[in-house]
Structure 1
Amino acid sequence: MGWLTMPFASMGGHPTAKAYLDAQFTYTRDVEGGTKGLRILASSCPKNRTYYAAAQVLTNGIGGEIFAIVCKVLWSPNSKTGENFGYKDSAPLRR
């Protein structure tokens, strides 16, 4: 998968890569018969280089499977093109 890059203004007011990605991966959606979602249990982004998170699947508000999310992070506050932040996720591992 490719890089998704954006200016600071597109980060929705999140001050750090970690805060932005935590928000992106946390959600709840209504589906037929209830809700589905994902919550971040713990995360870190050392030196704004790689984002690591433990995520849990939610079904009707009840926690289920827990898995890891890893994203490469591009942090360029002085970018001449205005693309200050970017991330690239990897393909999921299949069992």
Structure 2
Amino acid sequence: MGWLTMSRFHMGGHKTAKDYLDAQFTYSREADGTIKGLKVLASSCPQNRTYYAAAQVMIDGVGKEVFAIVCKVMWNPKSKSGEHFGYKDSAPLRR
């Protein structure tokens, strides 16, 4: 998959790459009377280079399987091109 880049001013008020990605990967949506989503249980982004997280699938508020998320991160708050932040995820691994 390709890089998703943006200006730090378009990060929805999140100050760091970790905060932004935590918010992106924590969500819930209602469909057909069922609330499904993800919850980030723990995460880190050492030196703003790689984001690591443990996420749990949530269905109607009940935790289900837990899996890992890894994203390559580009963090350059002084970028003159306006691409201050970017991340690249990969396709999920299937068993």
Q: Which residue of 2 aligns with 1:47?
A: 47
* Amino acid across the alignment from 2:33: G
Shift of 1:33: 2.9
1: CA distance, partners of 2:46 / 2:2: 21
| Correspondences of 1:1-95 after superposition (within 5 Å) | 1-95=1-95
Partners in 2 of 1:13 and 1:33 — Cα distance?
A: 31
> In angstroms, what is the RMSD of aligned CA positions?
0.6
Unaligned stretches of 5+ residues in structure 1 = none
Equivalent residue of 1:29, what SS?
strand
Distance 1:47 1:90 in 2: 20
- CA-CA distance at 1:78 after TM superposition: 1.3
1:32 and 1:93 map into 2 onto residues whose CA distance is: 28
TM-score (norm 2): 0.98
- Scaled by the length of structure 1, what TM-score is found? 0.98
Secondary structure of 2:79's counterpart equals coil
Structure 2: state its 5+ residue gaps.
none
Structure 1 stretches (4+) deviating beyond 2 angstroms?
A: none
Report the Cα offset of residue 85 of structure 1.
Answer: 0.2
- Cα deviation 1:72-92 (Å, max 9, x = unaligned): 000011111111000000111
Identity of aligned residues (%): 73
